[in-house]
Structure 1
Amino acid sequence: MYPEELIDARRRAAWGSAAFLVVGPGSVTGLVPWLLTRWRARRPVPGGVPAQLLGTAMILVGGAALTRSFAHFVIAGMGTPVPGAPPSKLVVTGVYRHVRNPMYGAMQLMIIGQALLLGQSRLYVWSSVAAALPAAYVPLREEPVLRERFGEEYDRYCRNVPRWLPRLRPWHQD
């Protein structure tokens, strides 16, 4: 691929990823929690200021992990997380060296962080719903597609990197 084509491909991937980040995870971690709470904190917030500080930290860490995960799709994978515009390379860099599905984990962290920050128990219920959907989708649809697309490279990745709970030491392909 020529340098101009590479830049254009990355630019398209970046715009597609950014749009999907707003529509997909933005709905799960922003729109739905807002509809459920209108961002109103329960008074007093259970756990007080320590719970709110922990919730804030969880939102920030989850947001950073989610953003970095999307960036790795663009930079390392030359594609997007959108099934219609998938990466051309298997993404096994950054946080993907610790866990296969960091986006779903990051979104959970953000929703639970909001529940702690606002003291809203309905967000724990939403977190459970938001976790159940990928728990079914990933093994039944996403993994078979990736296995077909990337073959042995993906199988080796699956053998070494857990699906949901991160490994402490990053996995190195070579």
Structure 2
Amino acid sequence: MFWRMTKAVLILPGTALIYVPLFIQWLGDGWPFNRLQSGALAWVMAAILAAPAFALAIKTMTQFLHEGEGTPAPWDPPKKFVVSGPYRHMRNPMLTSVILIIIAEAVALGSLALLGWGVGFFILNTIYFAFVEEPGLARRFGKEYLDYKASVPRWIPKVQPYVPPHSG
């Protein structure tokens, strides 16, 4: 199980959080973006964003591994529908954590290009979820997923937690 998750993390969040940002930095933050000034305050703000985002990422990946018996990877998805913890408040807390970490990187490095990557990553994932992932979850988990989807927002956390119909 450890190696399954390690592979998924190195490929998926690794690409979004390390490989693409390194490529952007290697390009030199050039056109159409430019570099902002960053300093100690930017690093503090970035840490304030990144710390809870990392905790959320670890929590949700652990849930997929233990409760869902799978990984975040599309080639090794959870076998069981996960609807506890952060998933009771929003449908995509794992990706939300990744987006917040990208924004934290942009703030820390003063990079509009990384901020642009964060926006692009959000848009790409929104399209992917709407047209690929959510229809696939509906096929795999049926009414259970459709009830959940109707009650829990995709990105903005819902204050009142979702309670699955069968749990009372």
RMSD over aligned Cα, in angstroms? Answer: 1.8
Question: Which residue of the other structure, out of 147, 167, 170, is the alignment partner of 2:158?
Answer: 167
Confirm or deny that 1:97 pairs with 2:88.
Answer: yes
The alpha-carbon deviation at position 35 of structure 1 amounts to 2.2
Question: Which residue of the other structure, out of 111, 121, 129, is the alignment partner of 1:120?
Answer: 111
Confirm or deny that 1:110 pairs with 2:98.
Answer: no
Q: Which deviations, in whole Å up to 9, do the C-alpha atoms of 1:43-79 show, x marking residues without a partner?
A: 841xx43332111121222222112111111111111
1:27 matched to which residue of 2? 15
Confirm or deny that 1:57 pairs with 2:48.
Answer: yes
Q: How many residues align?
A: 158
Aligned-pair identity (%) = 34
Confirm or deny that 1:37 pairs with 2:25.
Answer: yes
CA contact (8 A) 1:99 1:166 kept: yes
Structure 2 Cα separation of the partners of residues 18 and 171 of structure 1: 30
Q: Which residue identity lines up with residue 94 of structure 2 in the other structure?
A: M
Confirm or deny that 1:153 pairs with 2:144.
Answer: yes
Deviating above 6 A after TM superposition, structure 1's stretches of 4 or more consecutive aligned residues are none
Q: What 5-or-longer segments of structure 1 have no aligned partner?
A: 1-11
Structure 2 Cα separation of the partners of residues 161 and 18 of structure 1: 29
So what's the TM-score if we normalise by structure 1? 0.83
CA contact (8 A) 2:49 2:100 kept: yes
